[in-house]
Amino acid sequence: MQGKTLFVSGGTRGIGKAIVYAFAEKGADVAFTYASSADTANEIITDVESKFGVKCRAYKLNILEPLTYKDVYKEFDADFDRLDYFISNAIISGRAVVGGFGPFMRLKPRGLDNIWTATVDAFVVGAQEAAKRMELTGGGSIISMSSTGNLVFTPNYAGHGTNKAAVETMVKYAAAELGVKGIRVNAVSGGPIDTDALKAFPNYEEVKEEVAKRSPLSRMGEVTDLTGACLFLCQQEASWLTGQTIVVDGGTTFTS
């Protein structure tokens, strides 16, 4: 991936951070976003540049205001002269998901709307801006992170699960229209992965134990478990793969 550039949203923690390191290890220059963890972002930049000898930069982004992606991309343009891979990964949690994360009878339009904005709208604007840059160099690969919470009942996950189903459909529409520009668009759908987002579940320990029990591989997912599918989707070997969702779930969807 030398000479190529990745832009991933939410690179300070969890799956996004693992993606930053996986692509940098393959020689790609990496741009990522953060919401509040500016210090962590700077530490990651220093570490990635010294470990892998690639260029790494980070930009502040709030996915609850998706149109601000346009300004972030202007900052990106000042640092990088090409974009090959875009991964829409960032996700909201905490207060922003109140009314969207919980049992069905407690769902409220405001929380649900926030999850739609952060999941679907942010993917759309981030991918549109990515596509404008990718077509200048003949194409690229766009990925939305998704989760099996739209395939398997997951307590409190109605808001996220529904929006992951929506973003997977948006991925197919984007793929259908961007193929002509040499741009492939896919989703990577993870089963439960041990991250801060999952630790926010009130029944985190129970979920962890249950997932390990359900998985034929007898363990919960680690953040690095989704990076292989992302790398694959960005390589020549995946050159006829578009409009798909790759499920990486340790076998848990079938055994649920």
Ligand X SMILES: NC(=O)c1ccc[n+]([C@@H]2O[C@H](COP(=O)([O-])OP(=O)(O)OC[C@H]3O[C@@H](n4cnc5c(N)ncnc54)[C@H](OP(=O)(O)O)[C@@H]3O)[C@@H](O)[C@H]2O)c1
Catalytic residues: 157, 164
Chain positions 201 to 240 lying near ligand X, rule: CB under 6 A, are none
Binder among 197, 211, 229, 246 for ligand X (CB under 6 A): 197
- Tell me which stretch binds ligand X (CB under 6 A): 30-38, 105-113, 132-140, 171-179: 30-38
Residues 126-145, mask of contacts with ligand X (x by CB under 6 A): -------------------x
Q: Is the CB of residue 122 less than 8 Å from the CB of residue 164? A: no
Nearest residue to 233 via CA among 141, 128, 168, 135: 141
Residue 237 per-residue DSSP state: G
Nearest to ligand X of 117, 137 (CB atom): 117
Beta bridge partners of 251: none
Residue 102 per-residue DSSP state: B
Shortest distance, position 98 Cβ to ligand X, whole Å: 14
Beta bridge partners of 142: 86, 185
Binder among 7, 21, 23, 34 for ligand X (CB under 6 A): 34
Q: How far is CA 75 from CA 85, 118, 154, in A?
A: 17, 21, 38
37 binds ligand X (CB under 6 A): yes
The CA radius of gyration of the chain, in Å to the nearest whole number, is: 17
Tell me how far apart the alpha carbons of residues 251 and 232 are, in angstroms, rounded to a whole number.
19
- List the structure tokens of 120: 């679907």
156 binds ligand X (CB under 6 A): no
- Tell me which stretch binds ligand X (CB under 6 A): 104-112, 128-136, 192-200, 233-241: 192-200
Binder among 4, 5, 10, 84 for ligand X (CB under 6 A): 10
Which residue number places its CB atom closest to ligand X?
14
Half-sphere exposure of residue 58, counting CA atoms within 13 Å on the CB side? 25
42 binds ligand X (CB under 6 A): no
Nearest to ligand X of 89, 245 (CB atom): 89
Binder among 190, 211, 225, 252 for ligand X (CB under 6 A): 190
- Tell me which stretch binds ligand X (CB under 6 A): 4-12, 101-109, 173-181, 229-237: 4-12
Binder among 1, 48, 61, 112 for ligand X (CB under 6 A): 61
The per-residue b/e assignment along 146-179, b for 16 or more CB within 10 angstroms, e otherwise, is bbbbbbbebebbbbbbbbbbbbbebbbebbeebe
- Tell me which stretch binds ligand X (CB under 6 A): 43-51, 72-80, 85-93, 177-185: 85-93
Apex 222 CA angle, 85 and 150, nearest 5: 70
* Residues binding ligand X (CB under 6 A): 10-16, 34-37, 61-64, 89-93, 145, 147, 190, 192-193, 195-198
